[in-house]
Amino acid sequence: MARSALLNVMVQAAMKAGKSLARDFGEVQNLQVSVKGPGDFVSQADLKAEKIVYDELMKSRPTYGFLGEESQEIKGTDGAHRWIVDPLDGTTNFLHGIPQFAVSIALERDGEIVAGVIFNPATDELFTAEKGGGAFLNDRRIRVAARRVLSDCVIGCGMPHLGRGNHGKFLVELRHVMGEVSGVRRFGAAALDLAYVAAGRIDGFWEVGLSPWDIAAGLILIREAGGFTSTLKGGTDMLDDGTVVAGNELIQKQLLEVTNRPVPSR
């Protein structure tokens, strides 16, 4: 596949940070870990990876803005472009030695995501997408799954945990989805979940309480793989709303309907 110069910069940054994460993942028991909030941990590996990504991206495009999970937003002099970066999506997995984590980098131009890269160094899987150019896994074209009814589908989700999210509301959503699908999966890294939708590994996905860096790259991957995304209420402002429902055209609509069903009356 042919990549633009910008996408090459993003790939190089993700893979360089990924190599650093892979080294630290091999010594995960020795990492210096601090508590950032209830159930929300951050490691030195996370901070180091963001610095690597930042340095690589800004070396190539110093006028672009930068929004990363571990740092304050930097406004670029360019005005039109912004990098949106999660240097370690799936931090809890990483700290527990679970090889389901990734570097996620997206490029926003005039408010629209135009390129995305998601790299899992533990599996050496590189997901890339660029506006109008399709979506790829390790240079192989990927498409969303073609299933047409929820009863045939495996659906991914995010799950609230200690100190995070509305547990009661999620349990209602989960109860509704469980009764309609072939299976439900919770992998623990939203960027990879969206990449898996793009690759057809899971048929759909929904989550609330997300940040822009969790989903920005995944959104363009799904779009370029022929899929559809919306907020939990059917809107288009996923980055601001912090919710996402994804799948192919038919499954996304069905999943949206199911997750919005009211609580059953007693």
Q: What are phi and psi of 156, to 5 degrees?
A: -95, 160
Q: Residue 124: which of 135, 139, 114 has the closest Cα?
A: 139
DSSP H or E run through 18: helix 5-25
Any known ligand binding at 86? yes
DSSP H or E run through 36: strand 33-37
Any known ligand binding at 180? no
- For the chain, the C-alpha Rg in angstroms (whole number) is 18
Does position 37 have pLDDT exceeding 80, yes or no?
no
**CA–CA distances in Å: residue 143 to residues 95, 137, 227, 243:** 31, 10, 8, 22
**Which has the minimum average pLDDT: 25-29, 161-165, 169-173, 199-203?**
25-29
Any known ligand binding at 88? yes
Does position 264 have pLDDT exceeding 80, yes or no?
no
Question: pTM for this structure?
Answer: 0.94
Does position 217 have pLDDT exceeding 50, yes or no?
yes
The average pLDDT across 60-73 equals 94
**Helices 167-178 and 249-259: crossing angle, nearest 10°?**
130
Any known ligand binding at 214? yes
C-alpha 127/C-alpha 135 separation (Å) is 7
Contact between residue 81 and residue 14 where contact means Cβ atoms under 8 Å apart: no
Residues whose CB is less than 8 angstroms from the CB of residue 209 and which lie 6 or more positions away in sequence, other chains included? 158, 160, 164, 165, 242, 243
The average pLDDT across 60-85 equals 95
Class of domain 150-259: alpha beta
C-alpha 52/C-alpha 14 separation (Å) is 9
CATH 3.40.190.80 domain position(s) in the chain: 150-259
- Residue 72 pLDDT: 86
Does position 38 have pLDDT exceeding 50, yes or no?
no
Task: Assess if CATH 3.40.50.720 describes domain 5-141.
Answer: no
Query: pLDDT band for position 50 (50/70/90)?
Result: very high
CATH 3.30.540.10 domain position(s) in the chain: 5-141
- Residue 102 pLDDT: 98
Tokens of 214: 């969790």
The average pLDDT across 196-200 equals 99
C-alpha 262/C-alpha 237 separation (Å) is 23
C-alpha 16/C-alpha 238 separation (Å) is 28
Contact between residue 208 and residue 165 where contact means Cβ atoms under 8 Å apart: yes
Please state, rounded to an integer, the average pLDDT across all residues of the chain. Answer: 93
Does position 29 have pLDDT exceeding 70, yes or no?
no
Does position 8 have pLDDT exceeding 80, yes or no?
yes
Query: pLDDT band for position 120 (50/70/90)?
Result: very high
- Residue 96 pLDDT: 83
Looking only at the bridges linking them, the beta strands covering 81-89 and 65-68 are: parallel
How many Å from the N-terminal Cα to the C-terminal Cα in the chain? 56
b vs e for 27-43, b when ≥16 Cβ sit within 10 Å of the residue's Cβ?
Answer: eeeeeeeeeeeeeebbb
Q: At 17, is the secondary structure helix, strand, or coil? A: helix
What 8-state DSSP symbol labels residue 98? Answer: -
